[in-house]
Amino acid sequence: MGTRPENIDRAAREAAPIVSRYTHKTPVSLSNYLSQISGSDVYLKLENLQKTGSFKIRGALNACWSARQRGSNLVVASSAGNHAQGVAYSSKQLGLTAHVFMPEFAYPNKVEATMSYGAKVHQVGETYDDCYEKAVEFAKKEGGAFIHPFDDPEVMAGQGTIALELLEQSPQLDVLIVPVGGGGLISGVASVFKKSSPSTKIVGVQSKEYPAFLESFKQRKQVDVRRGVTIADGISVKRPGKITLGVALETVDDIVAVSDYDIVEAMFVLLERTKMVAEPAGAAGVAALLSNQVDVSGKKVGIIVSGGNVNPLLLARIISQSLRQSKRLMKLSVNIPDRPGALRTVLGCVASARANVVDLAHVRQEPDVPPSMARVEILLEAVEGESFNKIRECLSSKGLSFEIS
């Protein structure tokens, strides 16, 4: 197949019956909260509810199907997580043998999930690039079909099936916001949309720490970028695909970048307001909306929530940090006399402000705590910041020394 947008669109339509046989038709949800705060109608395409927890299954399935049609029984892939699971699941469904190369730093939950689908996992090197080289070498040696995570027309066509569903499920969109790493998702989706809905503005979102696609899009050529540190590992690509960039230059209207802080806010908003768990890369589109990176006022906006495979420990940290940032969770440190009844005074102030004690610890052994005193450290939850002002006033009236952070 060719690599022109019209070829990708045609291939996506041919892939749709195959992809739909093994995947979910994920829902589109109108978010009242996001619509209200942005002054637009915001529709979320929930690929975080897809099988394997990510849109990657679509492209992997289409490419694996094509490999089987060409007579291959062995598929090989390199990935930090979602593509790995997509290839592993697809190969199991299609009766193929899969070998997946993943970095040594890959999240354990993603490694375990890939193995659970029956793939042989090889953890090699520190980066995706290390895995890619080993995977290609292995595929050539063993005669297997290498399934590229993004720079493959068959993968792009598989991702384009998302657009076909969106065109049926949502009203005419003015803007569609899509997470961008290597470009497989946005190039596939944009090829389909520009054919059926040329007036829809397609905007990609990338991490500020890994703006390879953004810089390449601006310079209209492949550009390598420095490696930053970001929680959005799913869109952390050093160099965009040659094929994907070429298609994007013809079909994508703009690329913007968001910070990790923007992504954390988006993940928390999705969790609290829409009850959806999104991984950092999956929440990038919502991050662009919340940080006003895209003009959406008065428009119908689609956002692809591309995945939900977030590490549980990272999610717990994000929830805690978001609550602290919004001053709904704070730490109270109080010096009290080390005698019976002293703690009751502190807890009385907490109770009068209708705050909730999440955790409490007595500290007596630290050098800065006088022998006659104890320090109480309490993690508090409150509905609003005003509660903490009431606690300050109460403790001050009792003559106690304290800090709230």
Element (H, E) at 374: strand 373-381
> Is the Cβ–Cβ distance between 298 and 316 less than 8 Å?
no
For 1-30, what is the mean pLDDT? 94
- Please, are residues 305 and 45 in contact by the beta-carbon 8 Å criterion? yes
* Distance in angstroms (rounded) separating the CA atoms of residues 68 and 72: 5
The single-letter DSSP state of residue 355 is -
Question: Residues 38, 40, 56, 194: which is the catalytic one?
Answer: 56
The pLDDT of residue 370 is above 90: no
- What residue spans define the domains of the chain? 5-54+156-319, 56-146, 327-404
Level-2 CATH architecture, domain 5-54+156-319: 3-Layer(aba) Sandwich (3.40)
CA angle 402, 404, 405 (to 5 degrees): 140
Give the percent of the chain with pLDDT over 90.
81
Mean pLDDT computed over 276-281: 97
Residue 357's pLDDT band (cuts 50, 70, 90): very high
Q: What does pTM read for this prediction?
A: 0.91
Segment among 59-63, 194-198, 371-375 with least mean pLDDT: 371-375
**Residue 396 structure tokens:** 């001050």
Helix (H) or strand (E) holding 255: strand 254-258
Q: What is the pLDDT of residue 341?
A: 87
Tens digits of per-residue pLDDT, 287-302? 999 999 999 999 999 9
Confidence label for 117 from pLDDT (cuts 50, 70 and 90): very high
pLDDT, residue 65, reads 97
In what order do the strands lie in the sheet containing 401-404?
356-363, 373-381, 329-337, 401-404
**Residues of 380-393 as b/e, b for ≥16 C-beta within 10 angstroms?**
bebeeeebbebbee
Q: Is the pLDDT of residue 12 over 70?
A: yes
Q: Is residue 2 scored above 80 in pLDDT?
A: no
Tens of pLDDT, residue by residue over 34-55, are: 999 999 999 999 999 999 999 9
> Measuring CA to CA, how many Å separate 374 from each of 84, 342, 349, 401?
52, 10, 18, 11
Supply the pLDDT for residue 11.
97
DSSP state of 292: T
Measured at the CA of 249, the angle between CA 247 and CA 250, to 5 degrees, comes to 70
Q: What three-state secondary structure class fits 330?
A: strand
Q: What percent of the chain has pLDDT over 70?
A: 99
Please report, as a single letter, which amino acid is at residue 74. L
Q: Which amino acid is at 400?
A: L
Lowest model confidence (mean pLDDT) among 154-168, 239-253, 369-383: 369-383
- Does residue 168 have a pLDDT over 90? yes
Class of CATH domain 327-404: alpha beta
pLDDT at 119: 96
**Model pLDDT, residue 384:** 65
Is 172 within 8 Å of 298 (Cβ atoms)? no
Active site residue 56: yes
Q: Identify which has the larger pLDDT, 363 or 57.
A: 57
From CA 105, how far away is CA 179, in angstroms rounded? 22
Alpha-carbon distance 296 to 285, whole Å? 12
Ramachandran category for residue 99: left, alpha or beta (phi over 0 → left; psi -120 to 50 → alpha): beta
Q: Confirm whether 306 is a catalytic residue.
A: yes
Instruction: Give the confidence band of 135 by pLDDT, cuts at 50, 70, 90.
Output: very high
Please give the sequence-ordered ranges of beta strands (E in DSSP) within 5-130, or none if there are none: 28-30, 41-46, 74-78, 97-102, 120-123
Residue 303 pLDDT > 80, yes or no? yes
pLDDT confidence of residue 125 = 85
- Which residue from 162, 166, 172 is spatially nearest to 199, judged by alpha carbons? 172
Alpha-carbon distances of 10 from 4, 15, 82, 189, 291, rounded to whole Å:
10, 9, 25, 12, 35
Distance CA 195, CA 164 (A): 11
Q: Other CB atoms closer than 10 Å to residue 365's CB: what's the count?
A: 7
Q: How confident is the model at residue 382 (pLDDT cuts 50, 70, 90)?
A: confident
pLDDT tens digits, 56-89: 999 999 999 999 999 999 999 999 789 999 999 9
Chain centroid to CA 368: 43
> What pLDDT is recorded for position 1?
61
Give me the mean pLDDT over the 146-165 stretch: 97
pLDDT at 361 over 90: yes
How confident is the model at residue 80, as a pLDDT?
79
Catalytic residue among 54, 236, 291, 306: 306
The whole-number pLDDT of residue 369 equals 83
**Fold designation for 56-146:** Rossmann fold (3.40.50)
